[in-house]
Amino acid sequence: MKRKAFLVDTTRCTACRSCQVACKQWNKLEADSTVNRGSYENPPDLTPMLYNQIHFIEQDRGEDLRWLFINRRCLHCADAGCVKVCPSAGALYHTREGLVAYNRDKCIECHYCVNGCPFDVPRYDARRKVTKCHGCSDRVQNGLLPACVKACPTKTLQFGDRDQLIAEARAAGKKLYGEKDLGGLGVLYVLDDEPGTYRLPKNPAIPASIFFWKDVVKPLGILGFWGALGAAALHYVTVGPKKIDAPDEQQHKGGE
Amino acid sequence: MSNYVDRFDAFDRIVHWTLAVSFILLVLSGLGLFAHTFFGYFGLFGGPQQGIMAHKIAGVVFLVCSVLLFLRHMGELCRFDADDRRWIVKMGGYLSRRHEDIPQGKFNAGQKLFGIFSFVAALVMGITGYVIWEPTAFGRELTQFSLMLHGLFFVLWMVGMIVHVYLATIGNPGTLEGMLYGQVRKAWARKHASKWFQKVAGNR
Ligand code: SF4
Ligand code: SF4
Ligand code: SF4
């Protein structure tokens, strides 16, 4: 199966938030109660009941206000930090289309995954289970577009064959964010400014501590365990135990 | 005259074995979080969520016992003299069959180092364990770093524990008795802790 991906062309986004609403409707997610913070951005962050969010970047430029919008969500990394740290095999997994979906029944509520994610995406619901955008894997498997893409009136959100989306964007002279990072992201962005402006890391990567934990400490543990056991066994059969009554040990001027 | 001298009192023994049991529970309940291969161990606790709960409780017991043991033996553990340095240079004589005569106090230099390591490692496990108790409670970077440290010190613990168990059982016959019922044979004391033996024997 060829890898599928989202393409989010932020330059087209009008912040209508149809995507936010469509996602809530398809996934049967309740509304969050929020407070007015003096911005149209609402809620201000992903929540257990908000799998995608339009983040508003509001820059005061003298007379002018610069308004940038970005659809935030899980980026469906090929090399996904959340999958890497999840202790329960199959709780978080890649679908055949390359989307990162999850099985709540297998989630053991450890809450490690948000710490493995380079983008701070996963959230936990009232039952303490993982929630996030799953790329509408249920719809995609049945040949439908993800709900948010379907609802987007401006073609900001597109979904399809990953290589093809990249080729089309290239042909249109657009620069893509996430083409190569983390094994290639499953959500490619066309940005109107530096990634940092959109709260995206410039060079997204698995967090260093997480990498060290999973790729250095873990193998070291296996080595350490068998190494120590082996060393003890080897010592026992070569040097041998220090017996109390071994000859020549007594009377050697005991406590001088 | 008895062939034995007292080495550890009942309190020490109880705390030590409580510590040992909590350690085993910690390993069994924690392995499932360490690698997929060991996920099945959660079954021993009736499920992953229960396993994680057991891990947290055992962790608190482990930390309390570690602190207790350390406080009780701090004086002995943290004092190193010329003999200890000699012991360390000669690796305690463990590299040859010959008996090295390096007079040692109640604990030899290796045991002292292990005692200090255990205490420090228990603190690290306790502090990082507290941070990852609820992995969304603290900042992401602190939590990520704590997850890594918790794993790293688990590995160090595991290695230290294998060495500790080996040396305290078949590696040095007679040692275990001190922790089982509190007494060691005089010959053991003369051989392994001559300075300590002189002190306690002299007190008779
Ligand atoms: S919270 Fe659930 S999905 Fe996330 S890492 Fe833990 S078991 Fe996996
Ligand atoms: S963005 Fe985060 S949650 Fe999504 S696949 Fe990547 S690591 Fe997982
Ligand atoms: S792909 Fe589906 S789950 Fe993900 S944000 Fe869009 S509608 Fe929500």
ipTM: 0.90
pTM for the model stands at 0.92
**Which residues of A, range 63-122, sit inside 8 Å of B by Cβ?**
85, 87-89, 108-112, 114-115, 120
Going by the DSSP 8-state scheme, the letter that residue A142 receives in this structure is T
Nearest by CB to A111, which of B42, B93, B135? B135
For A97, half-sphere exposure in the C-beta direction (CA atoms, 13 angstrom radius) is 26
Decide if B29 contacts B52 (C-beta within 8 A): yes
Decide if B149 contacts B128 (C-beta within 8 A): yes
Q: In this predicted model, which residue has the larger pLDDT, B93 or A117?
A: A117
Tell me which residue has tokens 């609403």: A21
CATH topology of domain B4-203: Fumarate Reductase Cytochrome B subunit (1.20.950)
Q: Whose CA is nearest to atom 8 of ligand 1?
A: A86
Q: Where are the domains of chain B?
A: 4-203
Average pLDDT over residues B67-75: 95
Is the minimum CB–CB distance between B182 and chain A shorter than 8 Å? no
Q: How far apart are CA B62 and CA A133, in angstroms?
A: 39
pLDDT digits (tens, 9 = 90+) for B145-166: 999 999 999 999 999 999 999 9
Residues of B in contact with A87 (CB under 8 A): 32-36, 39, 48
User: CA of A38 to nearest chain B CA: how many angstroms apart?
Assistant: 26
Mutate to test the interface with A, among B53, B144, B161, B185 (most CBs of A within 10 A): B144
**Smallest-distance ligand from the CA of A130:** 1
Mutate to test the interface with B, among A47, A82, A130, A213 (most CBs of B within 10 A): A213
Is the minimum CB–CB distance between A167 and chain B shorter than 8 Å? no
**Token representation of residue A142:** 């049945």
Q: Which residue of A has its CA nearest to B30?
A: A87
Which residues are bridge partners to A68 per DSSP? A57
Residue A111 to residue B134, Cβ atoms within 8 A? yes
Nearest by CB to A87, which of B36, B141, B144? B36
Nearest by CB to B94, which of A209, A239, A246? A239
Is the minimum CB–CB distance between B130 and chain A shorter than 8 Å? no
User: What is the C-alpha radius of gyration for chain A, rounded to an integer number of angstroms?
Assistant: 26
Residues of B in contact with A47 (CB under 8 A): none
Decide if A177 contacts A189 (C-beta within 8 A): yes
**Token representation of residue B23:** 């350690």
Compute the distance from residue A19 Cα to the ligand 3 centre, in Å: 8
Sequence-ordered strand ranges (E) for A62-195: 64-72, 92-94, 100-102, 123-124, 130-131, 157-161, 176-177, 187-190
Q: How far apart are CA B1 and CA A238, in angstroms?
A: 37
For the cut 90, the answer to whether the pLDDT of residue B55 exceeds it is: yes
Instruction: Specify the DSSP element, H or E, that contains A95.
Output: none
SS (H, E, C) A163-226: HHHHHHHHHCCCCEECCCHHHCCCEEEECCCCHHHHCCCCCCCCCHHHHHHHHHHHHHHHHHHH
Pocket of ligand 2 (CB under 6 A): A 74-77, 80-82, 100, 117, 119, 121-122, 132
Nearest to A74 by CA among A44, A96, A52: A52
Q: How far apart are CA B144 and CA B151, in angstroms?
A: 11
Backbone torsions φ then ψ of A32, nearest 5 degrees: -90, 145
| Buried residues in A63-72 as b, exposed as e (16+ CB within 10 A) | eeeeebbbbb
SS3 of residue B170 by DSSP: coil
For residue A45, the tally of other CB atoms under 10 A from its CB is 12
- What pLDDT, on the 0 to 100 scale, is given for residue A1? 73
Angular region, A11: left φ>0, alpha ψ -120 to 50, beta rest = alpha
CA distances from A24 to A54, A133, A155, B27 (A): 13, 11, 19, 42
**Residue A25 CB-density burial (10 A; 0-12 exposed, 13-18 middle, 19+ buried):** exposed
Tell me which residue has tokens 């005569």: B101
In Å, how far from its chain's centre is CA B155?
14
SS3 of residue A57 by DSSP: strand
Q: How far apart are CA B16 and CA B53, in angstroms?
A: 22
**Smallest-distance ligand from the CA of A159:** 3
Average pLDDT over residues B51-68: 97
Q: How far apart are CA A194 and CA A178, in angstroms?
A: 13
The one-digit pLDDT tens for each residue of chain A (256 residues) are 789 999 999 999 999 999 999 999 999 999 999 999 988 899 999 999 999 999 999 988 888 888 999 999 999 999 999 999 999 999 999 999 999 999 999 999 999 999 999 999 999 999 999 999 999 999 999 999 999 999 999 999 999 999 999 999 999 999 999 999 999 999 999 999 999 999 999 999 999 999 999 999 999 999 999 999 999 999 999 999 988 876 544 444 444 3
Backbone torsions φ then ψ of A131, nearest 5 degrees: -140, 145
Helices B140-168, A218-238: crossing angle, 10 deg rounding = 10
**Token representation of residue A42:** 């609402």
Q: How far apart are CA A100 and CA A117, in angstroms?
A: 12
Q: How far apart are CA B126 and CA B146, in angstroms?
A: 10
* Residue A23 CB–ligand 3 contact under 6 Å: yes
Q: How far apart are CA B142 and CA B147, in angstroms?
A: 9
For the cut 70, the answer to whether the pLDDT of residue B108 exceeds it is: yes
Compute the distance from residue A144 Cα to the ligand 3 centre, in Å: 12
Q: Whose CA is nearest to atom 1 of ligand 1?
A: A111
Nearest to A156 by CA among A132, A140, A174, A179: A174
